[in-house]
Amino acid sequence: MPKIGTQKTITVEGQEYVLQHPGTREFIRIQDRIMTENGVPSNEKLAEELFKHVIVDPKVSWEYFDEHDGFEEVFKETMSFLRTGK
């Protein structure tokens, strides 16, 4: 089954989030973009990529998670979804 475009709905702290897989190539591009000058992945950059390319509803941001609980669980669930497509 193709990963690209596959959607999954998760519920965290009573809020539903719709995740959409950007495809394997875009996932690799995301991994490339989050690297720092020292070749270490940046969690801040990764979260911003997830906000922009994977969490499609509701649209989220740092400010959103300043006002809503569940950032770490949403982050973890989203990364699992990216890796497995499930």
The values of phi and psi at residue 8, to 5°, are: -145, 135
pLDDT at 85: 85
Give this prediction's pTM.
0.92
Pairing of strands 15-20, 7-12: antiparallel
pLDDT at 1: 63
pLDDT at 10: 98
Tens-digit pLDDT string for the chain (86 aa) = 678 999 999 999 999 999 999 999 999 999 999 999 999 999 999 999 999 999 999 999 999 999 999 999 999 999 999 998 88
